[in-house]
Copies of this chain bind each other. A is one copy, B any other.
Amino acid sequence: MIRKLSNACCLAASITVLGLATVPRPAAAQRLEQVEKPTEPLVLADRGSFFVDGRSVKQSPAELSSIFGRPLANDGHVTVDQMYVEYMVPAQRAGVPVVMLHGGTLTGKGFDTTPDGRMGWYEYFVRHGHPTYIADQISRGRSGVDIATYNDVRLGRKPVSALPNAFRESDEYNWKLFRMGPANGVTFPGSQFPAGAGAELSKQGVADFNPMLPSPNPNARAMADLARQTGGAILMGHSEAGGIPIDAALTDPSGVRGIIEVEPGACDADKRTHAQIATLAHIPTLMVFGDHLDAPTGTALDWTKVYADCNRLIGRINAVGGKASMLHPADLGIRGNTHLLMMDRNSLQIADLILAWIDRNVPSSATPQNPDQRASVARQPAQR
């Protein structure tokens, strides 16, 4: 019912968007909002949070440091490389599970309420029948980060040069890199980014400790394991994590029912082996890219090259019988999307296009669900 409503509204919105470059922005925003905050309550069969993977490691008193600034008397164990996951399962279940993994300097929050206060993809996918899982990348947010090296340096046990890089992205840096406009706070004509929400977007930024991660990046294994534990899921990654669904499928494809890469930093089309392409050919795959790909990013990154790279990967997958495709809304006349498609004013219109792709390519009937197996992720059988 919600789906029908939203499709009807989004068709109307889509027509409006076609003329967006010439009409004032608030009008279109107002229209989309009628869809984005349904008046119906959200009815959940289940919700909660749990962890995937993680390793128990022994650390020294120096590495642990201590709560009162005094070194501890004894070494002890902590867990590292675990992945925090929150989830909602709709009462009216009508689709395959979807896992969403955020990009650089962000957390799972990026898929929830948008910077201008609209419903995010997390809730929207649930309202469309999909059990939906939001993870924080290992090294960040509620997944945490291993600070042993930090404390070893702080206490003089290792040289400063041992400190790994850690970074944040400034508002000014992101504005251009994310193709919102030519200068900070200035949007391209018809841009879909909610222009006044820059300050709220900035609050989503956290320190990115990814350079502290071991190799291979444990997020790929965790996503593969999570997919299996859901009984089979579509893995979606954005930006820095855009390539992780493919990495996860190449680690263990058994639970990966579909791959959605939203503006990955690279597709590495030319580096993939024949064996890798053969694996990917068994998994429906969607790439999603916004508009203004040729806008200067202020960095070495050229989005037109990434777009071409991903199209080459799509070609290679399809050449061996795969089912990969590109969703480039600008080609459908939907203009002005930025790198942050899940936060853009027409974010739910983009979501509808993705949901339609899922319906066509990863139908629920083809993905036998096993709620008991999923539930076991969050619960320790030994405790029951």
Asked if A167 contacts B107 (CB within 8 A), the reply is no
Asked if A200 contacts B154 (CB within 8 A), the reply is no
Is A275's beta carbon under 8 Å from chain B?
Answer: no
- Nearest CB in chain B to that of A202: its residue: B79
Is A74's beta carbon under 8 Å from chain B?
Answer: yes
Which chain B residues lie closer than 8 Å to A207 at the CB level? 144-147, 150
Is A49's beta carbon under 8 Å from chain B?
Answer: yes
- Chain A contacts with B in 257-281, Cβ cutoff 8 A: none
Asked if A77 contacts B117 (CB within 8 A), the reply is no
- Chain A contacts with B in 143-191, Cβ cutoff 8 A: 143-147, 150-151, 153-154, 156, 160, 163, 165-173
Which chain B residues lie closer than 8 Å to A77 at the CB level? 170-172, 202
Given contacts A49-B112, A54-B203, A117-B379, contact A150 B173 (CB under 8 A): no
Is A11's beta carbon under 8 Å from chain B?
Answer: no
- Complex formed: what's the CA distance from A76 to B174 in Å? 10
- Complex formed: what's the CA distance from A26 to B199 in Å? 50
Is A305's beta carbon under 8 Å from chain B?
Answer: no
Which chain B residues lie closer than 8 Å to A156 at the CB level? 160
Copies of this subunit? 2
Given contacts A119-B48, A203-B82, contact A72 B170 (CB under 8 A): yes
Asked if B115 contacts A196 (CB within 8 A), the reply is no
- Nearest CB in chain B to that of A378: its residue: B117
Partner of A170, one of B51, B69, B75: B75
Q: Count residues on chain A whose CB falls below 8 Å from chain B CBs.
A: 97
- Nearest CB in chain B to that of A48: its residue: B113
Is A216's beta carbon under 8 Å from chain B?
Answer: no
Which chain B residues lie closer than 8 Å to A59 at the CB level? 168, 170
Given contacts A47-B123, A147-B166, A207-B144, contact A67 B112 (CB under 8 A): no
Max count, chain B CB within 10 A of own CB: residue among A113, A168, A172, A173: A168
Partner of A49, one of B66, B113, B144: B113
Tell me the smallest distance from the CB of A63 to a CB of chain B, in Å: 8
Q: Which 7 A-B pairs have the closest CB atoms?
A: A76-B170, A117-B379, A144-B206, A48-B113, A116-B383, A65-B167, A76-B172
Provide a sorted-by-A list of 27 A–B residue pairs whose CB atoms are within 8 angstroms: A41-B43, A48-B119, A49-B112, A49-B113, A51-B204, A64-B167, A67-B105, A69-B211, A73-B298, A76-B171, A76-B172, A79-B202, A79-B205, A107-B142, A113-B378, A116-B380, A117-B375, A117-B383, A141-B141, A142-B142, A144-B207, A145-B207, A147-B166, A154-B163, A194-B383, A197-B380, A200-B380
